[in-house]
Amino acid sequence: MKKLFLYSLVLISFLAKAQKKEKDTDLPKGNDAFVEKKYSDAEAEYRISESKNPKKSIASYNLGNSIYRQNQPSEAKYHYGKALKNAKTREEKHEALHNIGNTLMKEKEYAGAVEAYKNALRNNPADEETRYNYALAKKMLKDNPPKKDDKKDKDKNKDKKDDKKDQKDKDKDKNKDQNKDQKDKDKDGKNDKDKQDKKDQNGNKPQQQPGGVSKQRIDNLLDAVNNEEKKVQDKVNKQKVQTSPKKVEKDW
């Protein structure tokens, strides 16, 4: 029962003030329907009043209360937000923030509820109901910490995998390019060698022997040596003919 009391909305005092301050007939009609627990009728009257007085917080606040009573906390929170925006006094801000905290507790948004109750206490530190709800929201938040965003973690891991894959593909392409360059170099070297062999076979360039001396040069040297040897041999033979003893025939 105590918890229900503390979750109850700040209504009665605000409704009484509304009947005194507002001149339109729709707001009082809505208050009467709310007291009779005819929340849908109250909602209709408050909507008319809000449309006529969009800059006043009271109609939006009471509209939020009637919707909250119909178990629609998300929509009620929207109208409490409008009431907070148009609030002129600290008390109006306190009451709007207190009820925003209640809607967030209904939605199990405990972190938001903690902030709402905290801000409500800043506008009215003496309110014991708000203080109790603030403590309760902190306990619920501690017992039910926000879950990690699995989708974000999955996206992050996916991005890492994609980065690794991209780097792997880059390395692969790089290796392909290097292998292609090496093959092109080998091919160019082979073509140069083939061209060189063709030149040698066609006689456009003399064949080189070990030591850098051409075959033609060696052949020429051999011919020169042979010629010299021949000259020397001819000379020796000539000398032999001249120096051989003559045969004297005896004249008997």
DSSP symbols for 10-72:
S-HHHHHHHHHH---SHHHHHHHHHHTT-HHHHHHHHHHHHHH-TT-HHHHHHHHHHHHTTT-
Task: Please state which of the ranges 70-79, 128-137, 172-181 shows the lowest mean pLDDT.
Answer: 172-181
CATH of the domain at 89: 1.25.40.10
Instruction: Classify 206 as helix, strand or coil.
Output: coil
Decide if 203 is inside a domain: no
- Mean pLDDT for 33-53 is 94
Q: Judge if pTM exceeds 0.75.
A: no
Structure confidence at residue 203 (pLDDT) = 45
CA atoms within 13 A on the CB side of 77: 16
Reported as a single tens digit per residue, the pLDDT across 92-145 is 999 999 999 999 999 999 999 999 999 999 999 999 999 999 999 999 999 998
Task: Find the domain containing 65 and state its range.
Answer: 7-143
Q: Is residue 162 part of a domain?
A: no
- 114 part of a folded domain: yes
Q: Are 148 and 156 in contact (CB under 8 A)?
A: no
Indicate whether 110 belongs to any domain.
Answer: yes
What is the pLDDT, as a whole number, of residue 184?
61
Asked whether residue 227 is domain-assigned, the answer is: no
234 vs 6: which has the higher pLDDT: 234
- For CA atoms 61, 67, 69, 71, the dihedral sign is negative
Query: Which ranges of the chain would DSSP assign to H, the alpha helix?
Result: 2-7, 12-21, 26-35, 39-52, 57-68, 73-86, 90-106, 110-123, 128-143, 150-202, 215-243
If one counts the domains in the chain, the total is 1
pLDDT above 70 for 170: no
Residues 109-120 have pLDDT tens digits of 999 999 999 999
Structural domain contains residue 113 = yes
pLDDT band, very low/low/confident/very high, at 148 (cuts 50, 70, 90):
confident
- pLDDT at position 243 is 39
Looking at the domain assignment, is residue 130 inside a domain? Answer: yes
Q: Is residue 156 part of a domain?
A: no
Percent of the chain with pLDDT over 90: 45
In tens, the pLDDT along 227-248 reads: 766 776 776 566 554 433 333 3
| Residue 223 confidence (pLDDT) | 73
Tens-digit pLDDT profile for residues 75-89 = 999 999 999 999 999
Say if residue 183's pLDDT is above 70: no
Residue 8 DSSP code: S
